[in-house]
Structure 1
Amino acid sequence: MSRADTRPARRGRRTPEEGPRATFRQLVPFLLEHRTVLIVVAILSIIGAVATLAQPLLVGQVIAQVEAGGGLGLLVWGIIALVVAASVISGFQHYLLQRTGTAVVYSSRRQLVARILHLPIREFDARRTGDLVSRVGTDTTLLYAVLTQGLADAVGNSLIFIGALVAMALIDPLLLLAIVVVIGVSITGVVVLSGRIRRATGEQQEKVGELASSVERAVSSIRTVRAAGATEREVTEITGVATDAYGVGVRIAKVSALVV
């Protein structure tokens, strides 16, 4: 029997399911600190979307001119200018998002550290140390992913999507209908699988917190562990937790592969 099995459980220890769920409203104050930059990013996203939608139109004009035997004139230079402009806008937008995401993580970590260190002592008795540490480290990094992987870019992507639908409606309504059906089926699948991904991600975060807690406990009492000759037992126990986290990660990868 492992050491973890013989340790008495702390009274009142909370599980992730018992705690409150984070909401988008809680993220808003962190975003409002950088609202000017986010507005600029949204504007750049719209401009980039317009440039992206204009490129196929110019290419169509080039093809029409070639078929008619006319000169290309400024059309080629227009396409080059659009491509260059879209690249510059995308690069600058990426930089602003990365910088803002880093700033949001910094703000959240600063407030979270202050919050944790002012918690009542009973909260420390009810929670594992590794869970609290992972909140400051791993969990706050998720804010960075949320901000840099689609939140601010949603405006431009939505505009591109709407523009593509309008263009397809003008070119081939039947093709548009088929694509709408496919998109509807895809969205349904994503909604169904997102619940499984969310639950598995929560379980993975719990395993990561348990891993951090186990490592912290073993390192802080390393002299006792060495004196008791329990080094290999601790290694086996902690490796088991890491293996569980790996298994959950693989399960997330399998479900996510169905969404991509």
Structure 2
Amino acid sequence: MTDHQSAIGGASKEAAAPKGDWKAFIRLVMQTRPSKWLLAVASVLSVISTLVSLIVPYFTKNLVDSFSVESIRPEQIVLLVVTFVLQAIAGGVSIYLLNRLGQEVVAKLRDRLWKKLLTLTIPYYDNNRTGDTVSRMTNDTAVLKSLVSEHVTGFFNGIISMIGSIIILLLMDWQMTLIMLAAIPVASAVLVPLGRTMLNISRKMQDETASFTAVLNQVLSEIRLVKASNAEDREERVGRSSIESLLSLGIREGKVQAFIGPVISLVMMGLLVVIIGYGGMRVSSGALTAGELVAFILYLFQIVMPVNQITAFFTQLQKSVGATERIVSILEDEQEDVLQGRTLTDAAQAIEAENLTFAYSGDGEGVLHGLNFTLEPGKVTAVVGPSGGGKTTLFSLIERFYKPTGGTIRIGGEDIESFSLHSWRSRIGYVPQESPIISGTIRDNICYGLDRIVTDEEVERAAHMAYADIFIHELPEGYDTEVGERGVKLSGGQRQRISIARALLRNPQILMMDEATSSLDSKSEVFVQKALDNLMKGRTTLVIAHRLSTVVDADQILFIEKGRITGSGTHQELFESHAMYREFAMQQLRIGEDAQAGELPAPASEPALNLPPSAERK
């Protein structure tokens, strides 16, 4: 079994386990504040349509009992036609209003979910597959919409139709009615177990569909890796496993339906035969008129047909309960309140970490152990050490993606947790190793995340300082060039320079960088390093260093191994006193010096932009 298959099976078992509560569904729908007048009008029209349908058989009885050409009056025909037209109009308008109500409910729910997904903490995304989350947003909300817009009205109309029909039939002929009702326990004995089986199959199919969506999202988002690794056959087997699971569930569902349909037909035919036979005897004896027998048969249909609607309602309700469980689990998950706390106005202050400790799970092995360091304002601190030592985790703690399990991080002597996330992160510029690019234009990516209007001059100046204008001007559409999904139309160096331009335009006081120049070609590396030099000037900088020149020029170096700082100081100090740092510097920091790159040409003119003097390009 592949990892994907194990994950799919586990997700299916986990999702199928809980038994839901329909009250949670009601609460979830009511929290969207559906339009009461829309619901009231739709319900009234639906009830009117149902009540009219109860009158039609009785009206038919009178026509049959007094049927002759001479007895037919024009007003009777007109009344019958008007009745059918009004019923059709009332039913059609009711269906439209309920469908609209369902669409509005699901739209509000999706809006609420979308806002929630954007404020969920990073640990949520660490522990949940993206495809599963996407399925919650699309498939599960669609299940709720189907119940509200399609099945609720059918359920209540069916109840009204059944109760009304039974009451009328009891008044017409209670003996035949009791004979007819005797078939209900017999049919229920067969249909109820089948309904439960259908429910379990439906829920498993829903969960399997969500898992398959997760696989699709994962594979298609990394299709280049799949092709480069010749993994098409492997992923084809994984996908086929999910497809076969869905096929198996679909076949099981078909088998159950193959029983339900004939059973209902058998009950219907049996009731018709009994009612026609017994009713014919009573007609011949004069205890029942021919019109009453016809009405009896019509009312029979108005009892049996709603049974299907009610069964479908309860099946869909159980699906919705399962969907509600998953949606509520997201809505109740911990979220970030980005506005809670004081506003940080000046981040050009010393940042201190005291006994900083972190573990990804409460009972898991710690990643960081008692870190103590100070980042001086306007100075560059390089973080080096073996892979897996906790360097990226340290960045995540400073960015406040995670909360420390012990110790504190302070700025200007105050805990950073006392400041709002929005104001804290607005003071930080983060240039990760894998420069994230969104689908859109180059201009969209440079301006991404800014909540103000950005002029063309500002964008061009930021690109200029990041040495991105050199390749942007060579593109036919310049800054309006579409970069493709995740920036696939750009090279690694180009994506990195756009990421730097974005940070420059943000004009942060704190800069965190995970240098990625080691993965670039020599020409791109020169451009990117020059851009990084521009970006770092005058800012409190923390950088995971991959270049020897960055380490040598740093004001402070932190050497981290196995989650602990085993050395700190300047390059010369550590080179002389720290054996592992000396070995690390000699063996792993072997990227060419700036001197090998030569000077880069600057454009003849530099557009004006209100950036700090420290951000001037050499």
8 Å CA contact 2:16–2:204 kept in 1: the answer is no
Matches within 5 A, 1:65-214: 65-67=66-68, 69-214=70-215
In the TM superposition, residue 142 of structure 1 has moved relative to its aligned partner by: 0.7
Do the aligned partners of residues 185 and 58 (structure 1) sit closer, same or farther apart at CA in structure 2, a change above 3 Å counting?
A: same
Aligned residue-pair number: 258
Structure 2 length-normalised TM? 0.39
Partner AA of 1:96 in structure 2: L
Do the aligned partners of residues 24 and 152 (structure 1) sit closer, same or farther apart at CA in structure 2, a change above 3 Å counting?
A: farther
Q: Do residues 247 (structure 1) and 277 (structure 2) align?
A: no
- Partners in 2 of 1:233 and 1:249 — Cα distance? 24
- Partners in 1 of 2:7 and 2:200 — Cα distance? 27
Do the aligned partners of residues 74 and 174 (structure 1) sit closer, same or farther apart at CA in structure 2, a change above 3 Å counting?
A: same
Give the 3-state SS of the residue equivalent to 2:182 in structure 1: helix
In the TM superposition, residue 235 of structure 1 has moved relative to its aligned partner by: 1.7
Do the aligned partners of residues 8 and 110 (structure 1) sit closer, same or farther apart at CA in structure 2, a change above 3 Å counting?
A: closer
In the TM superposition, residue 172 of structure 1 has moved relative to its aligned partner by: 2.7
Do the aligned partners of residues 124 and 93 (structure 1) sit closer, same or farther apart at CA in structure 2, a change above 3 Å counting?
A: same
Do the aligned partners of residues 107 and 176 (structure 1) sit closer, same or farther apart at CA in structure 2, a change above 3 Å counting?
A: same
Partner AA of 1:238 in structure 2: G
Could you say which residue in structure 1 is the equivalent of 2:259? 258
8 Å CA contact 1:42–1:153 kept in 2: the answer is no
Q: Do residues 62 (structure 1) and 63 (structure 2) align?
A: yes
Do the aligned partners of residues 151 and 67 (structure 1) sit closer, same or farther apart at CA in structure 2, a change above 3 Å counting?
A: same
Give the 3-state SS of the residue equivalent to 2:254 in structure 1: helix
In the TM superposition, residue 196 of structure 1 has moved relative to its aligned partner by: 1.8
Do the aligned partners of residues 218 and 251 (structure 1) sit closer, same or farther apart at CA in structure 2, a change above 3 Å counting?
A: same
- Partners in 2 of 1:174 and 1:8 — Cα distance? 59
Render the CA deviation track for 1:151-203: whole Å, top value 9, x for unaligned.
13433322221221122213332321122122233334343233222222221
- Partners in 2 of 1:208 and 1:55 — Cα distance? 44
Do the aligned partners of residues 144 and 186 (structure 1) sit closer, same or farther apart at CA in structure 2, a change above 3 Å counting?
A: farther
Instruction: Work out the percentage of aligned pairs sharing the same amino acid.
Output: 22
- Partners in 1 of 2:212 and 2:125 — Cα distance? 17
Partner AA of 1:26 in structure 2: F
Do the aligned partners of residues 198 and 63 (structure 1) sit closer, same or farther apart at CA in structure 2, a change above 3 Å counting?
A: closer
Render the CA deviation track for 1:123-159: whole Å, top value 9, x for unaligned.
3333222211111111111112211233134333222
Do the aligned partners of residues 17 and 157 (structure 1) sit closer, same or farther apart at CA in structure 2, a change above 3 Å counting?
A: closer
8 Å CA contact 1:45–1:153 kept in 2: the answer is no
- Partners in 1 of 2:226 and 2:212 — Cα distance? 17
In the TM superposition, residue 121 of structure 1 has moved relative to its aligned partner by: 3.0
- Partners in 2 of 1:169 and 1:137 — Cα distance? 47
Structure 2 spans left out of the alignment, 5+ residues:
262-618
In the TM superposition, residue 71 of structure 1 has moved relative to its aligned partner by: 4.3
Aligned-pair Cα RMSD in Å:
2.8
In the TM superposition, residue 87 of structure 1 has moved relative to its aligned partner by: 0.8
- Partners in 2 of 1:28 and 1:122 — Cα distance? 27
Do the aligned partners of residues 100 and 228 (structure 1) sit closer, same or farther apart at CA in structure 2, a change above 3 Å counting?
A: same
Give the 3-state SS of the residue equivalent to 1:233 in structure 2: helix
Do the aligned partners of residues 105 and 257 (structure 1) sit closer, same or farther apart at CA in structure 2, a change above 3 Å counting?
A: farther
8 Å CA contact 1:134–1:209 kept in 2: the answer is yes
8 Å CA contact 1:12–1:126 kept in 2: the answer is no
Give the 3-state SS of the residue equivalent to 1:52 in structure 2: helix
- Partners in 2 of 1:22 and 1:137 — Cα distance? 21
Do the aligned partners of residues 8 and 85 (structure 1) sit closer, same or farther apart at CA in structure 2, a change above 3 Å counting?
A: closer
Could you say which residue in structure 2 is the equivalent of 1:224? 225
In the TM superposition, residue 208 of structure 1 has moved relative to its aligned partner by: 1.0
Greater Rg over alpha carbons, structure? 2
8 Å CA contact 1:190–1:259 kept in 2: the answer is yes
Give the 3-state SS of the residue equivalent to 1:66 in structure 2: coil
Structure 1 length-normalised TM? 0.86
In the TM superposition, residue 29 of structure 1 has moved relative to its aligned partner by: 4.8
Partner AA of 2:104 in structure 1: A
Render the CA deviation track for 1:5-44: whole Å, top value 9, x for unaligned.
6x899x9998214557353443345254222211111111
Per mean C-alpha deviation after superposition, the further-off stretch among 227-236 and 165-174 is 165-174
Could you say which residue in structure 2 is the equivalent of 1:16? 15
Q: Runs ≥4 in structure 1, deviation > 6 angstroms?
A: 11-14
Render the CA deviation track for 1:188-226: whole Å, top value 9, x for unaligned.
434323322222222112211221111111122222211
- Partners in 1 of 2:157 and 2:17 — Cα distance? 38
Partner AA of 2:4 in structure 1: A
Matches within 5 A, 1:14-53: 15-17=14-16, 21=20, 23-31=22-30, 32-53=33-54
Per mean C-alpha deviation after superposition, the further-off stretch among 215-224 and 79-88 is 215-224
In the TM superposition, residue 114 of structure 1 has moved relative to its aligned partner by: 2.3
8 Å CA contact 2:166–2:177 kept in 1: the answer is yes
Partner AA of 2:187 in structure 1: S
Structure 1 spans left out of the alignment, 5+ residues:
none
Q: By percentage of residues, which structure has more strand? A: 2
In the TM superposition, residue 242 of structure 1 has moved relative to its aligned partner by: 1.6
8 Å CA contact 1:62–1:72 kept in 2: the answer is no
Higher RCO (CA 8 Å, separation ≥ 6 residues): 1
Give the 3-state SS of the residue equivalent to 1:152 in structure 2: helix
Partner AA of 2:54 in structure 1: L
8 Å CA contact 1:50–1:160 kept in 2: the answer is yes
- Partners in 2 of 1:28 and 1:185 — Cα distance? 36
Do the aligned partners of residues 120 and 18 (structure 1) sit closer, same or farther apart at CA in structure 2, a change above 3 Å counting?
A: farther
Per mean C-alpha deviation after superposition, the further-off stretch among 144-153 and 99-108 is 144-153
- Partners in 2 of 1:223 and 1:172 — Cα distance? 74
Per mean C-alpha deviation after superposition, the further-off stretch among 18-27 and 147-156 is 18-27
Do the aligned partners of residues 22 and 218 (structure 1) sit closer, same or farther apart at CA in structure 2, a change above 3 Å counting?
A: farther
Partner AA of 2:40 in structure 1: I
- Partners in 2 of 1:147 and 1:17 — Cα distance? 23
